[in-house]
Amino acid sequence: MGDFSYFLDYYVILILYRLFCMAKYKAWFGGFMQRANYIMENQPMDSVNDQTAHQAGAAKTRSCRISNADSSGRTITIPCRLSQIEPVRDFARQFGNENGWSDSVTFDVTLTLEEIVSNIIIHGGEACRNHPIVIWIRLIGNEAVLVVEDCCNPFNPTTVPPPDLECPLEDRQIGGLGIHLVRQVMDDMEYRFESGKNILQMRKQVNANDS
Amino acid sequence: MALTVTSRVKSTGVYVVSPVGSLDTNTYDQLEKRLEPILQESPRLIVFDMAGLEYISSMGVRVFVKLKKQLKKTGGTVTMLRLQPQIQKVFEIINALPSVTIFSSIEEMDNYLDLMQRETSEKNG
């Protein structure tokens, strides 16, 4: 019955919002809509086909900051938009070039960040459209440590099952390839959900002369 | 990195498609669009010359997976030519290679196509 009351609240608010949808009410109702959406979307994750930006008007966005960032390494913060994957690729390549990584290692890190970030943007859900994604790369000795943080629905990529690679290419389901690639090119992948954020950390040995 | 795609007819029912640059989440649809008119011709064979492809992500690989599925319905197939090592690695990880013939050179491809052509003539002759 708890779930039903959430639905009822949501639809009452939705109807009120639509009836009073004038600019001066948008900020106030936008806040309700933001909370209602958050409640709705913290049910088990549904598939997301909606690519439109959330129209919450002046709703406050939760800040999404890295907890343990320090001055080592570099961070990039991007809006939750597919067009922002290109800057992430550039960011990774620049970091690799500056640190003398081999082309192969730079490729692996670039690919990893693309796969993780595009999954977040495509599957993250309406709740996180207005929240940034933060990517942090740092070096600890010969190890590159990548951290990706987002404010989307809780989602643990380490639990995604591997695709069936024994099936011939043409018979295979198209899915799970991105995470599979990341698992193969990274040495380690760890996930936690903390303070309302998905935090994914990946590590890879990188030597300046790695081939 | 952007993507540019050129294509040409090699012989009847055989197309050579050359994607150059980056085949990623933002560019994969350009390759798909480029393949649409070719698919309408029910090709026997599409050869991808990958010499100029520097980067591929899973969205790019999916284009090939989809294409192979679509071609299978009309009895066509896909082969690839001159993959850069990092691209080959991605296809190996996804185990796409066993069902796709990879040529290491244009000469090898031409020999294969000549053989195919002779077999077709013998069947029809």
* CA distance linking residue A37 with residue B16, whole number of Å: 49
Domain extent listing, chain A: 2-41, 74-205
Joined together, the tokens standing for residue B79 give 């082969």
Q: Identify all chain B residues contacting A107, using CB atoms and an 8 Å cutoff.
A: 55, 86
Nearest to A176 by CA among A186, A184, A164: A164
CA gap A164, A175 in Å, rounded: 10
**Residue boundaries of the structural domains of chain B:** 3-124
Q: What is the pLDDT along chain B (125 residues), one digit of tens a residue?
A: 899 999 999 999 999 999 999 999 999 999 999 999 999 999 999 999 999 999 999 999 989 988 988 998 999 999 999 999 999 999 989 876 566 788 888 888 888 888 878 887 887 76
Which of chain A's residues have a Cβ under 8 Å away from the Cβ of B65? 169-170, 172, 174
Phi, psi dihedrals of residue A107, rounded to the nearest 5°: -60, -45
Using CB atoms, pick whichever of B25, B69, B72 lies closest to residue A85.
B25
Of the pLDDT bands very low, low, confident and very high (cuts 50, 70, 90), residue A209 is low
pLDDT tens track for A39-84 = 444 433 333 333 333 333 323 345 555 555 556 789 999 999 999 9
B108 neighbors B79 (Cβ within 8 angstroms): no
Residues of B with CB under 8 A from a CB of A: 1, 22, 24-26, 55, 57-59, 61-62, 64-66, 68-69, 71-72, 85-86, 89-90, 93-96, 98-100
Q: B3-124: what fold?
A: Transcription Regulator spoIIAA (3.30.750)
CA distances from B74 to A141, B39, B41, B102 (A): 54, 9, 10, 21
Query: In chain B, which residue's Cα lies nearest the Cα of A114?
Result: B57
Which residues of A touch chain B, with CB atoms under 8 Å apart? 82-83, 85-86, 89, 103-104, 107, 110-111, 114-115, 118, 163, 165-166, 168-172, 174, 177-178, 180-181, 184-185
Across the interface, do A104 and B85 touch by the CB < 8 Å criterion? Answer: yes
Please state the ipTM of this predicted complex. 0.88
Higher pLDDT, A49 or A194: A194
Mutation target to probe the B interface, by most B beta carbons within 10 A, among A51, A101, A177 is A177
For B41, the 3-state DSSP assignment is coil
Q: Mind listing the pLDDT tens digit for each residue in A148-159?
A: 999 998 889 998
Instruction: From the options 3.10.20.600, 3.30.565.10, 3.90.1150.10, 1.50.10.10, give the CATH code of A74-205.
Output: 3.30.565.10
DSSP string, B36-95: HHHHHT--SEEEEE-TTEEEE-HHHHHHHHHHHHHHHHTT-EEEEE---HHHHHHHHHTT
Residue B37 and residue B45 in contact, taking contact as beta carbons nearer than 8 Å: no
* Contact between chains at A170 and B99 (C-beta distance less than 8 A): yes
